[in-house]
Structure 1
Amino acid sequence: MYLEHFGLKEAPFSLTPNTEYFLNVQGYQEALNTLLVGLENCDAFIKVTGEVGTGKTLLCRKLYNSLGEQYHVIYLRMPCTTEMDLFFAVAKALRVKEYSRLTKPELLNAIEGKLATLHRLGKRTVLLVDEAQTLSPRALEALRLLTNQETETDKLLQIVMFGQSELDERLKNPRLRQLRQRIVFSYSLKPMDRHALGLYIHHRLFVAGYEGDVLFTPKALDMLYKASNGIPRVVNILSHKALLVGFGQGMHRVTDQHVSRAVNDSGSSTGAVKAPNLSLRPELQLGIAVLIVCGVGLFLFEHLGV
């Protein structure tokens, strides 16, 4: 790809939520600190919401990696339409034997037994629920039932929910009144401002191994911010495409013109990037063509001695 051209060791703008790229900037470290304090205080429910692409999954995984050995962490990322679906998922994570054959009371008793055992071993069990807005009202109520399990002094299970803004709407359901009352800490992730976006770009390039001069010009960053509205996922998509355009032109700095081409190729200039345009612009076609030619040449050299 463009890695060697720009002196990178890895792709800096991958959409995979790699915690090495977590940046202590504008709310994200504050959100992490809020979660850690809430868990330390043994609060039963904590909620984090944010729009699509604002970094909720990355924050969730950063929290997972930040918890010490005293925690037993369960990571749940699957839609649960019924309470039994959720109970089965938790039971599976706790290694309850033959959980699918158990009735609801038996299942709850088995889960409580596993949680009690972990508590006696000095472990605090935390359930991280990603994409919580996909949970049905019955599954959300099932989460509340799980937090009923406790000793005289401690909760046996703490729950952190990460979800889109639809989660807040779902929690307004009158049937979920008791659950809402148990949410002690809430945090809303916001898009980055222009200053934070510049730090974000620099940080990701640095982690990816870039050691050269400033790669993205100030005007390029201005256009990135305008086109992405500060949403990290959109920033990543446009930055990756802008690098590819610059590579195709043989340039070693990313300008606002490269970002403009990336925005146009993504079919958006407002920050809400649509499905990729399959008809690539000439600059992107050139970059891909260079990759193909180099790959073929390397294959011929290694295998045919050409």
Structure 2
Amino acid sequence: MYLQHFGMRSLPFSLTPNTEFFFGLPPHVEALQVLQVALQTGEGFIKVTGEVGTGKTLLCRKLLNELSAEFVCAWLPDPYLTPAELRAAVAQELGVSLESVRDQQHLSGLIQQRLLELCAQHKKIVLLLDEAQALPDDTLEALRLFTNLETEQRKLVQVVLFGQPELDQRLSQSNFRQLRQRITFSYQLRPLHDTEVGAYIRHRLAVCGYQGAPIFNDAAVKLLAKASRGIPRLINVLAHKALLLSYGAGMASVTLSQLRAAVADTEDATPVATHRWLWTGSLLLVLLVAAGVLKGVAW
């Protein structure tokens, strides 16, 4: 692709959440600090919400990597579970054998026994759920009941919910008022500001080994920030396409016309003024580059 052309070791704008690329921008640092402080209290639910693509999964993985050995974490990346499936998933994450389970009541007893064992070892148990807005109603209630498990000193489980803004809408319903009252800490991830977008791009390029002159000038960063609305996932998509176009044209930096073409080829990007002929031809160029036709380069 364009790695050798720009002198990079790896793709700088991959969509896969990779903690190697974590950058200490204010919204993510603040969210991480809230989570770390909240988990030290050992009480209730913790909620982090943000628009699609703002970095919730990356934040979740960063938290998992940074928690000390006193924490035992159960991470459920796919929350679309029935209450029975939720209990089974939590049991497996905590190392509970499911082979001899007779029924749901028995499984709940085994989970509680395991939690008490971990508590006796002075461990703090944390249940993290990504994409929590997809949790069915009865599973949310089952999750609340998990937090009823406690000793005389503290709760046995803390729950961290990562979700889209729809999670807030669901929890505002009256049937979830008991769960809502147990949310002790919450944080809402915001999109990046224009200056943060530039720092974000430079950081990811540096992590991948790029050392040359700026590939995205100030005007390109400004356009990229506007088209992406400061959402990291969209920044990655647009920047990657723009680099493909720059490479295909044999250039050392991204032009505004190439970036406009990338925007026109990305459905969720905020449209910018361009010419139909420009982005159609550029899209064909992207496809040719991706197929390894240009310059005889294979992926």
Same fold (TM over 0.5): yes
Aligned AA (1:153): Q
Higher deviation after alignment, 277-286 or 252-261: 277-286
Assess if the C-alpha contact under 8 Å between 1:39 and 1:158 holds in 2. Answer: yes
| Counterpart check, 1:94 vs 2:91 | no
1:280: how far off?
Answer: 6.6
Question: Which residue, out of 294, 297, 304, partners 2:297?
Answer: 294
1:271: how far off?
Answer: 6.7
Q: What TM-score does the superposition give when structure 1 sets the normalisation length? A: 0.90
Assess if the C-alpha contact under 8 Å between 1:119 and 1:156 holds in 2. Answer: yes
Aligned AA (1:161): L
* Aligned-partner Cα distance in 1 for 2:22–2:100: 38
* Aligned-partner Cα distance in 2 for 1:237–1:178: 40
What residue is the counterpart of 1:152 in the other structure? Answer: 152
Assess if the C-alpha contact under 8 Å between 2:43 and 2:154 holds in 1. Answer: no
What residue is the counterpart of 1:281 in the other structure? Answer: 283
Question: Structure 1 segments of 4 or more deviating over 3 A?
Answer: 99-102, 277-280, 288-292
Aligned AA (2:110): A
Identity of aligned residues (%): 48
What residue is the counterpart of 2:196 in the other structure? Answer: 196
Unmatched 5+ residue regions in structure 1? 297-306
Unmatched 5+ residue regions in structure 2? 273-278
What residue is the counterpart of 2:217 in the other structure? Answer: 217
What's the secondary structure of 2:297's corresponding residue?
Answer: helix
C-alpha spacing 1:290/1:187, structure 2 compared with 1 (3 Å): same
What residue is the counterpart of 1:207 in the other structure? Answer: 207
Show CA shifts across 1:153-197 (max 9, x none).
Answer: 121111100000111111122221111000000100111110110
* Aligned-partner Cα distance in 1 for 2:99–2:177: 29
- How many matched pairs? 292
1:103: how far off?
Answer: 2.6
Aligned AA (2:149): Q
C-alpha spacing 1:268/1:90, structure 2 compared with 1 (3 Å): closer
Assess if the C-alpha contact under 8 Å between 1:246 and 1:252 holds in 2. Answer: yes
1:283: how far off?
Answer: 2.8
Assess if the C-alpha contact under 8 Å between 1:220 and 1:257 holds in 2. Answer: no
Assess if the C-alpha contact under 8 Å between 1:226 and 1:271 holds in 2. Answer: no
1:241: how far off?
Answer: 0.2
What residue is the counterpart of 1:107 in the other structure? Answer: 107
* Aligned-partner Cα distance in 1 for 2:34–2:100: 36
Instruction: Give the 5 Å matches for 1:3-18.
Output: 3-18=3-18
What's the C-alpha RMSD, in Å, of the aligned pairs?
Answer: 2.2
C-alpha spacing 1:97/1:86, structure 2 compared with 1 (3 Å): same
